[in-house]
Amino acid sequence: MNMLLPSLLFLMPTFAELPKAKGPLSPKEELATFKLPEGFKAELVAAEPDVVDPVAMCFDEKGRIFVCEMRGYPNGGVGTGKETRGQIKCLEDRNGDGVFEIAHTFADGLRFPMGITPYKNGMIVAVAPDILLLEDTNGDGKADKSTILYTGFHLANIQQMVNSLQWGHDNWIYGIAGSVAGTITSPQRPDFAPLALRNRGFRFRPDVPGSMEPISSGGQYGLASDDYQRWFTATNSQHLRQIVLPDHYLQRNPYLAVSAVTLDIPEHGAAAKVFRVSPFEPWRVERTTRRAGSPDAKRFPATELVPGGYITSACSPLIYTADLFGKDYYGNNFVCDPANNLIHRELLKENGAVFRAVRAYEDREFLASTDNWFRPVHLCMGPDSAIYVLDFYREAIETPLSLPEDIKAQLNLESRGRGRIWRITPTEFQPTKLPDLSKQTNAQLADELVSANPWRRIYAQRLLVQREAKNAAPTIRELLAKNEGQPSRVNVLWALHGIGELKADDVLLALKDPNAGVREMGLRLAEPLVNDAAIALAISKLVDDPTPRVRFQLAFTAGLLPVELASPVLVKILQQDASDSWTVTAALSSAREGASQVLAGLSASDKPPLAVLRRLAAIVGASGNELAIARVIQTIADGKGTTGVDAALLDGLGQGMQNSKRPLNAWLAMPPKDSANIVATLRMRFEQAAQFVADAKKPLDQRLASAALLTYAPFDLAGSTLSELLSPTSTSELQLAAIRALAAHADPKVAGHLLKGWKTYSPATRALVLDTLLARPDRTLALIAAVESKQVAASDVSPAQAQQLKSHPNAAVKKRAGEVFKQTIDADRAKVVAAYTSALQLKGDTKAGKAVFAKNCAACHKLDGVGNDVGANLLATLGNKSGEDLLTAVFDPNREVDPRYLTYQVGTADGRVLTGIVASESATSITIRRAEGTEDVILRTNLDTLRATTLSLMPVGLEKELKPQDVADLFAYLRIAGK
């Protein structure tokens, strides 16, 4: 089914009129609806008309609030078109009573500002497609100079545009830009190479044009850091994601395949249940009534017959690290869910190299309102340690793309001219005039570096760096000596770093600090100083640190040490932390130069971790280093280790070389001259494996293992044996194992072996054979020839696969596919959609509809336990569009394709051609997910071409497969299977 199924729906008749919803409340009335824990209060800071549609804010060093107003939202759900209503407001509290009574416009004529952070005499603002520096050069409070720092951020989804700019501890500005971030250029520096982000965030030095570089991300709106610059983000249903593996470390080892850099850490999971106190909006009730009123309502559990109460719009996480709320709140996460009119709180607990998040309350939220118009969208910590809440205050906040057309027609989605800012504090809190750090001397700013308030620390640090305040170094260093064990020591250290005055002795203090977080940050600060013998020794001693997250950082930092120092450190980390996959990956990112030494060290240990050995051998294999590869093969050939070690090394080496220009089976077929002896030994092993797998008397699990071993054997040894396993007399498990092994061989005979028994294959076997044939142009041409000769029926090739062949990057394949797959597709897709409107009037059979789904949709979508998670999550998206919209999605899938589900064609250096969506990517690899849920992790070093099409993975032409009654049956099934 279609990659466009974010637009899937609940098909029920339209209705005449929604019940009238409650209207807006005054700020005073709204305040009375807030439910907070005992001991806390909310106070109004500002409201309309001074602030309208606020989505992001920051304080400047003078204590003023700058607010991004997104007045043009929702703009049809996209960021494109002409829109200039966006503004930046400046609010001031001149009498210190906590109410910001003065408001003026700092900048206007903007598109959709969604992120803001102060810099020098102005603001750096995220306004897709740009990041702007807006400056007030004459001091009148208004921006009179605008400079485009970077441009190219995407506009396709208004909820995933560039946002969340903020100053990091390390004196870079950080931000995120959703899953399709864009290709970024720097007008200030024309020689800046275009930066394709795609699901990665970014950081840049504001004082260095063209300094932007990618960071690991995985978020939608919101970016948060704790006291030690561990980053967290969120998507609409994943309310807290820890960004675990930094991009700049992964870049060091291009031969390390990494398929995930973030982790969802809440124990209560994604789309978690929340304790909403507001009544459900009439339109939500109507949508649920359709479900509950259906003949199949009994299939739904009671929790799914309610209109909400689950996180669906998570945004703007905030890790609270000030002291105002009390120690029980230190390190807690607060995150908005505007769809449910609440702010959720959870506790972060250390869990090895990462955290886990647990609910703070069993039956309530930190802040919940009975007012449906309360829409918290952004959280900010203030100079007073309070939490400031931006309230978008609207009747509806949903993107139009997620609303049924008949419901949408009765909702006012446009700006209602309202917006509020609330301050959350303990009840005894009394506001006072906020500090003006801009008037402080450098010595006074240095004192702020050890404040209990992290806002004051980071702002003082920023100002000292901007002033290049070298004269403050003695004062700052005195504070460093006095501040042992405190989180603020991090700011002191980075302030010294930022003004160019950080010394080796300063770092040594950090590496010995009793606070594990300071030791962790000390390792990062030590990285430029690894040539200092004392620093290198102090770094290596942390291998025995009792705190897992310190060893996790050490695993990254060790990669900067000389190989002779790094290798023993990495060996020990990989031994003691072998069960922590994140620490293992961190250590492997450091093992590029010394991979062979680390591999040898681990192999010689009493109980080497086999999974780690496998990944290390894969790094060696992917590197293509002939000498290192020969050493691993020699170790295998010698057979001095246990059988498990040899098997792990061979499997890892083979996997790694498969991600290079010369796979292991090809290397063994034509080895280097001085490797003849070890190759001869390995050939004997492969011959034994071939004999073993052919012996029907041997146990099945051992035969399967031997078949997998033949993946890496020269084809002259493996080909005939594997081909014989494709016989109908073999079990399905052996057939599938043989196909997977054959797939790794580039020999032209592979296609013939696979096609010979086509008519005897089961559906599952045929699916894997097709996948294998489509991976290489020579095999694909053989498949097309088999279709032409009717050895393979044209209908055995799915419409999606036929569509891929007709747009194949190989000219010969494209030409032959066009000749053989001549099924005419009507170019007028609107006419096809119109032809199927009769299906909406037919009575559907849910059982038959399930079969239609399994045949035509399950390759890419999972529903009711059937299918594969390739496209959008149907459980989160069913129920939002009219029948006509769904018909369009099915029969005109390319009319409007969500960028997340665009088809990419990937060519690899070893000759494969893969088609699918980009499921994830890191600094070193790209994960391509294809129909049936199959994934390939491709190293960038093995990437020959990567081309985005304009097409959905969903094929055009399903009218050749589906009759109107099939569509009616499918829709009936979707009505009861969608959650």
Task: List pLDDT tens digits, range 89-98.
Answer: 999 999 999 9
Higher pLDDT, 604 or 433: 433
Mean pLDDT within 679-708: 90
Mean pLDDT of the chain: 89
Q: Per mean pLDDT, which range of 454-468, 537-551, 670-684, 746-760 is the poorest?
A: 670-684
Q: Is residue 467 over pLDDT 70?
A: yes
- Please state, in angstroms and rounded to a whole number, the distance separating the CA atoms of residues 321 and 842: 59
Mean pLDDT within 158-182: 94
Q: Which residues contact 334 (CB under 8 A, 6 or more apart)?
A: 317, 318, 320, 343, 344, 345, 366, 379, 387
DSSP letter string, 485-512? T-TTHHHHHHHHHHTT---HHHHHHHHT
Q: Is residue 11 over pLDDT 60?
A: no
Q: Is residue 879 over pLDDT 60?
A: no
Q: Per mean pLDDT, which range of 340-344, 562-566, 821-825, 923-927 is the poorest?
A: 821-825
Q: Among all chains, which residue has been given the structure tokens 């096609």?
A: 755
- Please state, in angstroms and rounded to a whole number, the distance separating the CA atoms of residues 142 and 89: 10
| Total count of residues recorded for the chain | 979
- pLDDT winner (highest mean) among 14-18, 547-551, 812-816: 547-551
Of the pLDDT bands very low, low, confident and very high (cuts 50, 70, 90), residue 550 is very high
Mean pLDDT within 787-801: 87
309 by DSSP, 3-state: which?
coil
- Please state, in angstroms and rounded to a whole number, the distance separating the CA atoms of residues 78 and 216: 24
Higher pLDDT, 401 or 255: 255
- pLDDT winner (highest mean) among 627-641, 688-702, 886-900: 688-702
Q: Per mean pLDDT, which range of 633-647, 732-746, 750-764, 878-892 is the poorest?
A: 878-892
- Please state, in angstroms and rounded to a whole number, the distance separating the CA atoms of residues 934 and 598: 32
By percentage, how much of the chain surpasses pLDDT 70? 91
Q: Per mean pLDDT, which range of 383-392, 715-724, 956-965 is the poorest?
A: 956-965
Q: Among all chains, which residue has been given the structure tokens 């891929």?
A: 804
pLDDT of the residue at 5: 37
Q: Among all chains, which residue has been given the structure tokens 């250290």?
A: 493
pLDDT of the residue at 919: 82
pLDDT of the residue at 798: 79
Kindly report the number of other CB atoms within 10 A of residue 58's CB atom. 25
> What's the distance, CA 676 to chain centroid?
46
Q: Which tens digits make up the pLDDT trace of 272-290?
A: 999 999 998 887 777 666 5
pLDDT of the residue at 8: 37
> Which amino acid is it at 860?
C
Mean pLDDT within 916-926: 86
- Please state, in angstroms and rounded to a whole number, the distance separating the CA atoms of residues 69 and 49: 12
Of the pLDDT bands very low, low, confident and very high (cuts 50, 70, 90), residue 787 is very high
pLDDT of the residue at 304: 44
Higher pLDDT, 850 or 878: 850
Q: Per mean pLDDT, which range of 192-196, 754-758, 766-770, 818-822 is the poorest?
A: 818-822
pLDDT of the residue at 653: 94
**Residue by residue, what is the 3-state secondary structure of 509-539?**
HHHCCCCHHHHHHHHHHHHHHCCCHHHHHHH
pLDDT of the residue at 376: 98
In the beta sheet, which residues pair with residue 350? Answer: 355
Mean pLDDT within 355-378: 97
pLDDT of the residue at 408: 76
pTM of the model: 0.89
> What's the distance, CA 963 to chain centroid?
39
> Residue 645 phi/psi, 5° resolution?
-65, -50
Q: Is residue 211 over pLDDT 60?
A: yes
* Tokens describing residue 323: 């002291």
Mean pLDDT within 69-81: 93
Q: Is residue 901 over pLDDT 60?
A: yes
- Please state, in angstroms and rounded to a whole number, the distance separating the CA atoms of residues 926 and 230: 24
Q: Is residue 10 over pLDDT 70?
A: no
Q: Is residue 9 over pLDDT 70?
A: no
Q: Which tens digits make up the pLDDT trace of 659-677?
A: 888 899 888 888 887 777 8
Of the pLDDT bands very low, low, confident and very high (cuts 50, 70, 90), residue 430 is very high
pLDDT of the residue at 6: 35
C-beta separation of 946 from 925 below 8 A: no
pLDDT of the residue at 16: 59
First to last CA, the chain: 17
Mean pLDDT within 48-53: 98
Q: Is residue 345 over pLDDT 70?
A: yes
pLDDT of the residue at 950: 67
Compute CA distances 678 → 662, 683, 712, 732, 841, whole Å: 18, 9, 15, 34, 71
Q: Is residue 958 over pLDDT 80?
A: no
Nearest Cα to Cα of residue 353 among 571, 582, 545: 582
Of the pLDDT bands very low, low, confident and very high (cuts 50, 70, 90), residue 945 is confident
By percentage, how much of the chain surpasses pLDDT 90? 64
Packed helices 732-743 and 763-773: angle between N→C axes, nearest 10 degrees: 0
- Please state, in angstroms and rounded to a whole number, the distance separating the CA atoms of residues 506 and 526: 10
